Every structure is written in C-alpha cells, then in structure tokens.
Amino acid sequence: MEAAHLLAGRGLRVELFEMRPQASTPAHTTGLLGELVCSNSLKGTDPQTAHGLLKKELARLDSLVLATAFETRVPAGKALAVDREAFAAAITRRIESNENIRIIREEVCEIDADMPTIVATGPLTSERLAARLAEMAGSDRLFFYDAISPIVDARSIDYSRAFFGSRWDTGSTDYLNCPLSREEYEHFVAELLEADRVHAHAFEDVRFFDACLPVEVIAGRGSESLRYGPMRPVGIVNPADGRRPYAVVQLRRENLKGDAYNMVGFQTRLTYPEQKRIFSLIPALSGAVFHRYGSIHRNTYLDSPRVLKTDFSIRGHPRTFLAGQLTGVEGYLESAAAGIYAGLGLLSHLKGGELPVPPADTALGALVQYVTEPREERFQPSNINFGIMQDPGEIHRKRRREARLEREYRSFENWIDSLSGLI
Ligand SMILES: Cc1cc2nc3c(=O)[nH]c(=O)nc-3n(C[C@H](O)[C@H](O)[C@H](O)COP(=O)(O)OP(=O)(O)OC[C@H]3O[C@@H](n4cnc5c(N)ncnc54)[C@H](O)[C@@H]3O)c2cc1C
C-alpha cells in the first residue's frame, strides 16, 4: 500500500492486487487493507530510540501507514498504538478513493517479469505465489520459517567471564565464548525447562526443522542434549585455565563494528521476560542488555542479501521488486518503510536512473543495508534497532544520542536531496 500510494501520488496508474477476502491467510480475518494481524502497537515514538528515528524518517517520506496511525491513535504511553478497526478502515478508504489506484481482489499466482511489479505479499504469502518467487530467486533462497536468536549489546557483556576464540582456533576474535561450569549448566537447564513459553498461534506449525529447534525443545530431549548441541564445548579451550569448559554459549559478531552479538543457535519460544531472566544465568551475560529477543514463527521471506539489488529489485529481474516483510525486514513500520523504498526503486527504474542508497546511520539506510549486504551466515530477518545502525563513533556516552540524532538528520536530508525530484 505504501508503494501504491507513493507511485499513485507521482501520477502513475497502479493496479493493487489483494487476495482477501476471497482467499485469506491463516492470520487475517477481514478483507480490509492494512489489517494488523496481532498487536495494535507500532512501537515507540521517542526519536532517541531506533523505532522513533524510523518514524521520523517515515513522516518525512509521507508514509500513509504512519499518518493513518497518528489519526487513529489510542492512548498507550509513549507507544504509538491504534484502534485497529479504525486504522484498517481508514487505510482502505484512502486507497479506494485514490483515483490512480485500481484494487483487484484476486490471488496472484504468476509474476510477469516484463511488467513493472512490486511483490509485497508478506509473511503469509500464498503457496502458489511463493512457488513462483522461489522459481525467480532460486528455491534455496526462499525461507518459510524464521528462527531468530537473541542479540546482545556488546557493552553489556561481562568480558571477565568470557573469552574470544573459534572452535579449534584460539586466535580468532569472531566468536566470544561464554563458559559455564557443571553446576551453572545444570541450573541453567533446569530453569530453562520450567520457563514460560509463547504459545503458538493456532495456524503455526509447531513441528520444527532440526536446523532451527528452540533451545528449550533441545533441552527437553535430555539433560546433556544442549552440551551436544548449541552449548557444545568441543574444540574450545578457556585460556584462564587451559581447559575445555563444561558447556559454552557462543556469541558471534552481529556486525562489522562488533557492538552487537548474536547468541549462536539460541532460537527460542520463551517469553521475552523469561529470556531475559534465563539467559542472564549465563555468567558472562548476567547484566546483558538485549537488542532483540529470540523467536520462531512462520515467516515467508527471501534470502535478500543473495537475491535483492540495493533498489530492492530481484537480481536478474530488473522490473520485479520486493517490499514489506518478504525482504527480511520485520515489523509493521519496517515493512511500510520497505514499501516506500521499493516504490522509489521502481520509480527510479522507470525514469532510467539508479536509486541512491540511504546511508547506514539513518534508520531506513540501516534496514536497506541489513537486507542487501552479503554475509556468510544464514540470513535472519530483523526489525530496526541500534545494533544494525551505524554507530555515531567514539563519542562520550552522554552525547551519543544527541550525536546520533544530529548525524542521522544530516544524512537523511542529504539522501532526500540526492533523490532529485523522486520525493
Ligand atoms: C501471526 C503474526 C503476528 C504478527 N505480529 C506482529 C506484531 O505484533 N507487530 C509487528 O510489528 N509485526 C507483526 N507481524 C509481522 C507483520 O505481519 C508484518 O510486520 C507486516 O504486516 C508485514 O507487512 P507486509 O505488507 O509485508 O505483509 P502483510 O501485512 O501480511 O500484507 C500482505 C498482503 O498480501 C496478501 N497476499 C498474500 N499472498 C497474496 C497473493 N498471492 N495474491 C494477492 N494477495 C496476496 C495478504 O492477504 C496480505 O493482505 C506479525 C506477523 C504474523 C504472521
């Protein structure tokens, strides 16, 4: 809808296909455009947070979703929460009354690679279209599940209780190892087994692929299972005593700066407060601040770093663009941002130009970079958070937030200037 709204606003005639209500997804219940399938919160508005920064940029980009959210806002402290019915009804009305948009209520099963197209069919894309996307992008590049491990703020780790080194390679600094003694491990497993879990949505398939089993499910298979799985200590030597730890949690750098770490193999369905409580039992993480918690859910998305160009077109298919959660961004407003960006990508393509990539110290730029930058490990979706945004550098902590805001403001405005008339 964001892409349609943007393109229609530039005078283009848009055909917007929506399969509901004739065919539905397992989560939607109405035929309204902009139906929020779960929470009615679009997160915080404070510009000193990553979510707040994204909102500021979206407002500058004339986001339909954001403007409608403010119009249909309900009280929720600092969060932007909406009356979900009023929100979806208002979005539907605005799209329906746009004379440049024709809404066609049918399931799309084919993509004509010659027709300028934006595909934004979301985490529950219909099966037939998913099959077509897999054909265009490569069948090993379309994922149906999202198994996310928590991300820890590097500054919150207790380095006196951790050490660097890959398995069999003590010299490497790619991994940070958090060792546990036998007692610590047993206590950890006992608490993990008792912890509260998020109950699966009725439609979600609770059978997990072996490659993305939740840690609590592995723990339930036997007291030693985690020591043969993600907490395996084999090939790891603690330089403090020259011995192999009883168990170990490995953290892998999440980004080049090394200011955020991913807990390797720690996808989980524990509730967020339980993740905080249980993972803090790992000695090096006793004071950990989490940029993102772990989760597992049905989510159709592409291996975007391998599939997408920086304008969100599919490699080898310059007229087919992806938007929304299919690109590997996660969340209502992140998806809206990806919609606007794909709209700009298509507009630039039609004008024969190239879309300038927003800098990584802006929220939009961080999302674009996150989903398009090549990486070695398996691509996992992300919402906006400071862990994926470029840091303001070596600035005193007190001034970090101000400096980030100043820099983001300059970068974003320079990027808007470089769009030469697209906005
Ligand atoms: C169960 C669940 C709970 C979630 N909870 C939250 C939450 O609390 N907060 C949050 O920020 N995010 C949440 N998300 C993620 C949220 O869905 C996305 O952030 C956002 O809605 C994605 O936007 P989108 O436009 O990419 O896809 P969607 O909003 O899903 O829109 C895609 C549209 O495409 C249509 N469609 C699909 N296939 C076809 C086809 N072949 N032909 C025509 N139309 C088609 C669908 O009917 C749908 O209307 C949740 C997702 C799920 C699945």
Q: What separation in Å is there between the alpha carbon of 19 and the centre of ligand 1?
A: 12
**Ligand 1 residue neighbourhood (C-beta within 6 Å):** 17-20, 25, 27-28, 37-39, 107-108, 120-126, 129, 201, 324-326, 331-332, 335
Q: What is the pLDDT along the chain (423 residues), one digit of tens a residue?
A: 999 999 999 999 999 999 999 999 988 999 999 999 888 899 999 988 999 999 999 999 999 999 999 999 998 878 898 999 999 999 999 999 999 999 999 999 999 999 999 999 999 999 999 999 999 999 889 988 777 789 999 999 999 999 998 888 767 777 899 999 999 999 999 999 999 888 766 445 545 555 568 899 899 999 999 999 999 999 999 999 999 999 999 998 877 677 889 999 899 989 999 999 999 999 999 999 999 899 887 789 999 999 999 999 999 999 999 999 999 999 999 999 999 999 999 999 999 999 999 999 999 999 999 999 998 777 888 999 988 988 777 666 667 788 888 999 999 999 999 998 777
The fold adopted by the segment(s) 151-293 is: Elongation Factor Tu (Ef-tu); domain 3 (2.40.30)
DSSP annotation of 373: S
Residue minimizing CA distance to atom 5 of ligand 1: 38
**Is 15 in contact with 22 (CB distance < 8 Å)?**
no
Pocket test for ligand 1, best of 25, 371, 382, 385 (most atoms within 8 A of CB): 25
Please give the distance, rounded to the nearest whole angstrom, from the Cα atom of residue 36 to the centre of ligand 1: 8
Top CATH class, 2-144+301-418: alpha beta
Token duo for residue 190 = 């006992």
131 C-alpha to ligand 1 centroid (Å): 18
Domain boundaries, the chain: 2-144+301-418, 151-293
Instruction: Give residue 283's region: left, alpha or beta (phi > 0; psi -120 to 50).
Output: alpha
Q: Whose CA is nearest to atom 29 of ligand 1?
A: 122
Which 3-state string (H, E, C) describes 155-210? HHCCHHHCEECECCECCCCCEEEEEECHHHHHHHHHHHHHCCECCCCCCCCCCCCH
Closest protein CA for atom 36 of ligand 1: 121
Q: What is the CA(148)–ligand 1 centre distance, in A?
A: 18
Which atom of ligand 1 sits closest to the CA of residue 324?
Answer: 26
